[in-house]
Chains A and B, each alone.
Chain A
Amino acid sequence: MIRNYLKTAWRNIVGNKFYAAINVAGLTFGLVIGLFMLLWVQDELSFDTFNKKGPEIYRIGIIGGTDVSKQIFTSIIAPVVPAAKNELPEVIDGVRILNVGSAPFKYKEKNFIEEHAAFADPSYFTVFDFPLVNGDKMKPFQDNNSVVITQTMSKKYFGNEDPIGKMVILGLNESLKVTGVMKDYPANSSIKFDFLLPISRYNQLAYLNRNVNYDGKTRVLSMDADWVNFSFETYLRVKPNTDVEQLTKKLRSIHERNRPEDAPVPYLAQPLYQMHLYKADGSNGGIETVRTFAIVAILILVIACINYVNLSTARSMLRAKEVSMRKIIGAGKLQLFMQFMIETTLLFTIATVLAIALMYALMPIYNNFSGKQLQVSAGNYQVWTYIVITLVGTLAASSIYPAVLLSSFEPLKALKGKVAAGIGNVAFRKVLVVVQFTVSIVLIIGTIIIGRQLNYIQKKDLGYDKENVFSLNMRDIKQHYDAFKNDLLKQPGIISITRAGGDIVNNNGWTGDNDWDGKPAKSNLLFHPIAADKDFMAFFKLKMKEGSVFTGAVADTTHFILNEAAVDAMGLKNPIGKNIRIQKMRGTITGVVKNFHYASMRKKIEPAVIYYRPEDCYKVYIKTTGTDAPKAIAAVQKSWKQYNNDTPFSYTFLDDSFNQLYKTEQRTGALFNVFSVIAIVISCLGLFGLATYSAQVKTREIGIRKVLGSSVTGIIRLLATEFVLLIVIAIFIATPVAWYAMDKWLQDYAYKTSISIWIFLLAGGSATFLALATISVQSLKAALANPVKSLRSE
């Protein structure tokens, strides 16, 4: 029986290659895109879940600042961990991580700048599931001069040699002995440090061996007693069923008891598993995108299923004779149902095989595109669960309806061709087409708006000039800045040079230690402090609203320039001349700079203070002419070698850092382009099927009309009108849906493009155009057919 079904099914596919190809193509496209997206979703949701103790691990954060400057910090002070372990019975263990940032490492002749080095408590290896392939996880560091590295780093530095006991040099002369090698991090780990140094080493260097604190005040003897240094990413492992809200309250009271002047300082505890997709305060982060992608993936699969259902029911009238004969001969409903299920399954299997082959082939491109390292390995049961559920769901959705429809034909009517007109509930299939086009149009609108927002960000006047500027960390050039600068200014291609104590594209620095004339008692305003040189303002073409810029005079060390946002937040009417203190620096406000975007446009421009401190500037900015940029870089590299010896040279163009800032948006935009193209292609395939069906059903009507003198265009109009009507309905449904969704998406941006009516008109217009183009093929064929033939076939 099954063999007979398979045989018929196979011959049906082979005998109708064109339709089979359309069906397989639609399903394959749908499956490839749907599966890719769902794998992406799966990967996003799987972040950090390899940590078995995850449900007991929380990242601790605090809320700082008031009003506009309110910020969530996920780096806190070091004493929290020992205090919590001592005082709170529910706390089992804690890990502190101090990110070193980029650091030069050296082994023999090999020099590298490493971006992922950190100090950490030894519990890093027991709280998290980061297994050591070499070394003792209970005692990963033998002493303060130990380092644990990943397998990849071991390969990079030592090749195939045994890394244990090898000495690497950090910076100029810090010798570190490799005492452990850890397995490389899973791609879905939020925490990824390649070099781990004992945090006790930091304690030794920054506290025990120092006579003064960083701010020159009283000396603090240990990091465990330093309640000011908010630098430690902190994780606590707690007993199961711990009341986390209570825990944060206790942490807060510990903090406020030890440092009453910080009060109020609300604490946050975020589950490890949520770190990747939610912000530290529990609000939505990446989960929004994950949800969007999951919905879009399912919609694309639905479109593909609808496409199949439409095409196969459209073609079912041609199968009516066969079905009737089978029934007359003795086939039962169930047998016929099974036959059509098997047919769909066969076709679906072809599509699945093609889809999986395509996915394998496209995986590298997709990974590059999406910034993932997805792979479908045999052992990854989570991935396979997603794949199997997707396949079974799609198969069920596309097979059952046609099978029920076909198997319930009444043989007599079917044999006489009477089923044709009433087949498969035409209204139902029209609804399906409307659904398909609604989804497609929503995606087109989404694509246009995301594109416009990206364009808006690219084109928006940032308030500073980043054209042809590249920057680098000076390291040892810092002490020889003037010589370095004078030398380079003589080089062709270099226009001007300045230096600053921070990143102008994406400034992450904060300070809450401040005061000014008339500061309200309860205010805890945070500023972005930007250390600058005298030519900083001119270099970036920052515009002053009032007051004056730095001149390089000694007096400038007591001068402060605020941005408009700062002035507003401070509530100052006439800021010039007012006294201000930022940390230990005291002076007066001498200027107000117009707002400029020194962070992502997702956020409103926040208060910033620019102060004159050449010695705090560690970053140099170099402006070149566009064409001579390579020469300029070569010249800078030559100078670099002179001051920094073997330390690898690296630089970044501000345009690149700027793009990096919006990488997620750019990815989302690119992916949405693909989504909407695929959605519209599959929808058009489905429409093509419906047009074919309609032309077939109306063969006789068309024949009669032609005999009576209708023109070809008249016939095309007859066939096209009903479809255009469906598209128009889809446009009307899609418009509010897309408007709502995209308005919500744009709310993430403080600075955003507008949603204007032409976008909807464009999306609707292009969908209509594509649909018409699709229909016209079939309509034209029907209209040009010889009416004698079509009438005779009745």
Chain B
Amino acid sequence: MTIQEAPMIKITNLEKFYRTEEVETIALNKLSIEIATGEFVAIMGPSGCGKSTLLNILGMLDDPDAGSYVFNDIEVAHFTERKRADLRKHNIGFVFQSFNLIDELTVFENVELPLIYTGVAASERVKRVEEVLDKMQIMHRRNHYPQQLSGGQQQRVAIARAVVNKPKLILADEPTGNLDSSNGNDVMELLTDLNEQGTTIIMVTHSEHDARYSHRIIRLLDGQSVMENIMV
């Protein structure tokens, strides 16, 4: 595993506020972070510290109110929704705590979906979906619907869906939060494997156990980075 010089992600003085009529809450307060290509980073912190906000901005699901976000040498902070979406679908895969599979689609179809939206040809899609299902050891469940699977299996499908497009970056939001420890460990192993094959991973977690799989832990408090631990 090699860590390259130019960072994949460089955020500088990033700010995000949430406003209601009377109250303004600061979610991210002049946060600056760099993440290199190939890194596996865990983000930790108490509830409300801005973890999820950060992840959403990194995933280009949300835009910051101020500051800079450079992704692969491109400044994306003020991209339009359409441009962000385009960049997102080719570069980023998501794994959620609650899996977020589409109930009406089978395992195979759920995994196939990103390929459809990026315009991959049908025959190529079948090949790639089968390949990734195989890798996630979920091939035998390809024609089942999400409700017919256990939590661990559902999260494998979600990871399969996240990686099928071969993204450079995977963002995982408490990927083991809804799983028992055994299934949780399996998921962490999977993510580690992916990372070893070159995918950059940023994971939000409450679990010190899970965080130990990463190279580096960024701890947030009140929208600011308060500590970084480099894992050995």
A contacts, CB < 8 Å to B: 1, 4, 7-8, 11-12, 15, 321-322, 324-333, 335, 411-412, 415
CB atoms of A15 and B104 under 8 A apart:
yes
Q: Which residues of B contact A1 (CB under 8 A)?
A: 116
Residue in contact with A8 in the complex, picked from B90, B105, B118, CB distance below 8 Å: B105
Known: A326-B102, A332-B85. A411 touches B61 (CB 8 A): yes
User: When the two chains form the complex, which single residue of A7, A12, A321 contacts B100, counting CB atoms closer than 8 Å?
Assistant: A321
Contact B113 A329 (CB under 8 A): yes
> CA A104 – CA B56 in complex, angstroms?
92
Residue B94 lies at the interface, judged by CB distance under 8 Å to chain A: yes
Residue interface mask B102-114, A partner, CB < 8 A = 1: 1111000100111
Is A8's CB under 8 angstroms from B114's CB?
no
Residues of B contacting A415 in the complex (Cβ-Cβ under 8 angstroms)? 96, 100
Nearest chain A residue, comparing its CB with the CB of B165: A330
Known contacts A4-B109, A330-B89, A331-B117; is A322 also within 8 Å of B104 by CB? yes
Q: B101 — which chain A residues lie within 8 A by C-beta?
A: 325
Contact B161 A329 (CB under 8 A): yes
Q: Are B85's CB and A7's CB within 8 A?
A: no
Give 29 pairs: A residue, B residue, CB < 8 Å, sorted on A: A1-B116, A4-B109, A4-B113, A7-B105, A7-B109, A8-B102, A8-B104, A11-B105, A15-B103, A15-B104, A321-B100, A322-B102, A322-B103, A322-B104, A324-B100, A325-B100, A326-B117, A328-B94, A329-B89, A329-B114, A329-B161, A330-B85, A330-B89, A330-B90, A330-B114, A330-B117, A330-B118, A415-B96, A415-B100
Known: A329-B161, A412-B56. A335 touches B104 (CB 8 A): no
Q: Which residues of B contact A7 (CB under 8 A)?
A: 105, 109
Q: What CA separation (Å) do A307 and B123 show in the bound complex? A: 41
Closest to B90 in A: A330
Residues from chain B with Cβ under 8 Å of A326 in the complex:
102, 113, 117
Residues of B within 8 A of A335 (CB): 117
**Which residue of chain B lies nearest to A15 when distances are taken between CB atoms in the complex?**
B104
Does B62 belong to the interface (CB within 8 Å)?
A: yes
Q: Is B30 an interface residue (CB 8 A)?
A: no
Q: Tell me, rounded to whole Å, the shortest Cβ–Cβ distance linking A768 to chain B.
A: 36
* B219 at the A interface (CB under 8 A): no
B166: A residues at CB distance < 8 A: none
Q: How many residues of B contact A (CB 8 A)?
A: 26
Closest partner residue, chain A, to B100 (CB atom): A325
> With the chains together, A326 CA to B114 CA distance in Å?
8
Interfacial chain B residues near A4, Cβ < 8 Å: 109, 112-113, 116
Given contact pairs A7-B109, A11-B104, A330-B90, a sample of 14 additional A-B residue pairs in the complex whose CB atoms are under 8 Å apart:
A4-B109, A15-B104, A321-B100, A322-B103, A325-B100, A327-B85, A329-B94, A329-B113, A329-B161, A332-B82, A412-B56, A412-B61, A412-B62, A415-B100
The answer for the CA separation of A12 and B112 in the assembled complex, in Å, is: 18
A332 to B81, CA, bound (A): 10
Residues in A neighbouring B88, C-beta threshold 8 A: 328, 330
How far apart are the CA atoms of A739 and B64 in the complex, in Å? 58
Assembled-state Cα–Cα distance A330/B85 (Å):
6
Query: Which positions 40-63 of chain B face chain A at CB distance < 8 Å?
Result: 56, 59, 61-62
Q: Name the 9 nearest CB pairs between A and B, nearest first.
A: A330-B89, A330-B117, A11-B104, A329-B114, A412-B61, A325-B100, A322-B102, A331-B117, A8-B104
A328: chain B residues at CB < 8 Å are 59, 61, 88, 94
B164 CB, nearest partner CB in chain A, Å: 10
Task: Across the interface, name the chain B residue whose C-beta is closest to A14.
Answer: B104
B116 proximity list for chain A (CB < 8 A): 1, 4
CA gap between A12 and B102 in the complex, in Å? 11
Q: Can you name the residue of chain A whose Cβ is closest to the Cβ of B161?
A: A329
Q: Which residue of A lies closest to B118 (CB)?
A: A330
Query: What is the chain B residue whose CB lies nearest that of A324?
Result: B100
* A12 contact set on B, CB distance < 8 A: 104
Give every chain A residue within 8 A of B109 (Cβ-Cβ).
4, 7
A94–B162 Cα distance when bound, in Å, is: 83
With both beta carbons as reference points, the residue of chain B lying nearest to A9 in the complex is identified as B104
Taking CB atoms, residues of chain B closer than 8 Å to A332 are 82, 85, 117
Instruction: Determine how close the nearest CB of chain B comes to the CB of A612; give it in whole angstroms.
Output: 87
A431 to B102 CA separation, bound complex (whole angstroms): 33
Interface string of B71-104 (1 = CB under 8 A from A): 0000000000010010011100010100011111
Q: Bound complex: CA of A11 vs CA of B106, how far in Å?
A: 11
**Bound complex: CA of A676 vs CA of B112, how far in Å?**
49
| Complexed CA–CA distance, A332 and B116 (Å) | 11
Given the complex of chains A and B, what is the CA–CA distance between A332 and B82 in angstroms?
Answer: 8
Which A residues are in CB contact (< 8 Å) with B61?
A: 328, 411-412
Residues on the B chain within 8 Å of A8, using CB: 102, 104-105
Q: Which A residues touch B90, using CB under 8 A?
A: 330
Query: Please, which residues of chain B bring their CB within 8 A of the CB of A333?
Result: 82
Q: Complex formed: what's the CA distance from A411 to B60 in Å?
A: 11
A141 to B189 Cα, complex, angstroms: 101
Which residue of B59, B61, B82 has the most chain A CB atoms within 10 A of its CB atom? B61
Residues of A within 8 A of B104 (CB): 8, 11-12, 15, 322
Can you name the residue of chain B whose Cβ is closest to the Cβ of A327?
A: B85
Q: With the chains together, A328 CA to B59 CA distance in Å?
A: 9
Q: Which residue of A lies closest to B119 (CB)?
A: A1
B 150-172 to A, binary, CB cutoff 8 A, 1 in contact else 0: 00000000000100010000000
A412, closest chain B residue (CB)? B61
Q: How many Å from the CB of B145 to the closest CB on chain A? A: 9
A4 to B61, CA, bound (A): 24
Q: In the complex, what's the smallest C-beta–C-beta distance from A17 to chain B, in angstroms?
A: 13
Q: Which residues of A contact B89 (CB under 8 A)?
A: 329-330
Please give the distance in Å from B174's CB to the nearest CB on chain A.
14
Residue among B101, B109, B117 with most chain A CB within 10 A = B117
Distance (Å) between the CB of B84 and the closest chain A CB? 11
- Cα distance, A412 to B89, chains bound together (Å): 15
Query: In whole angstroms, how far apart are the Cα atoms of A325 and B157 in the complex?
Result: 14
Closest partner residue, chain B, to A328 (CB atom): B94
Bound state CA distance, A7 and B85, in angstroms? 24
- Determine the distance from Cα of A163 to Cα of B115 in the docked complex, in whole angstroms: 75
Among residues of B, the one whose C-beta sits closest to the C-beta of A411 is: B61
- C-alpha spacing A415/B109, complex, angstroms: 20
Q: How far is the CB of A645 from chain B (nearest CB, A)?
A: 79
Give B93's nearest chain A residue, CB to CB: A329
The answer for the CA separation of A322 and B100 in the assembled complex, in Å, is 8
- Give bound CA distance, A330 to B92, whole Å: 10
B136 to chain A, nearest CB (A): 17
Nearest chain B CB to A580 CB, angstrom units: 88
Closest to B94 in A: A328
A328 and B56 CA atoms in complex are apart in Å by 11
CB distance from B49 to the nearest CB of A (A): 17
A327 to B117, CA, bound (A): 9
User: When the two chains form the complex, which single residue of B56, B62, B82, B117 contacts A329, counting CB atoms closer than 8 Å?
Assistant: B117
Residues of A within 8 A of B102 (CB): 8, 322, 325-326
Residue of B with least CB distance to A4:
B116
Shortest C-beta distance, B79 to chain A (Å), equals 15
State A325–B110 Cα separation when bound (angstroms): 10
CA of A329 to CA of B100 in the docked complex: distance in angstroms? 11
A333 to B113, CA, bound (A): 15
**A4-B109 Cα distance, complex, nearest whole Å:** 8
Cα distance A335–B100 when bound, in Å?
19
- In whole angstroms, what is the CA distance A332 to B118 when docked? 10
Tell me, in angstroms, the Cα distance from A321 to B102 when the chains sit together: 8
Bound form: Cα–Cα A411–B94 in Å: 13
- Residue among A12, A326, A328, A412 with most chain B CB within 10 A: A328
Which of A8, A330, A335 is the most central at the interface, judged by chain B CB atoms within 10 Å of its CB? Answer: A330
Q: Give, as a whole number of angstroms, the nearest-CB distance from A55 to chain B.
A: 55
Shortest distance in angstroms between B142's beta carbon and chain A's nearest beta carbon?
A: 15
Instruction: Give Cα A489 to B9, complex, Å.
Output: 113
Name the residue of chain A whose CB is nearest to the CB of B162.
Answer: A329
Roughly how many angstroms separate A485 CA and B123 CA in the complex, as a whole number? 96
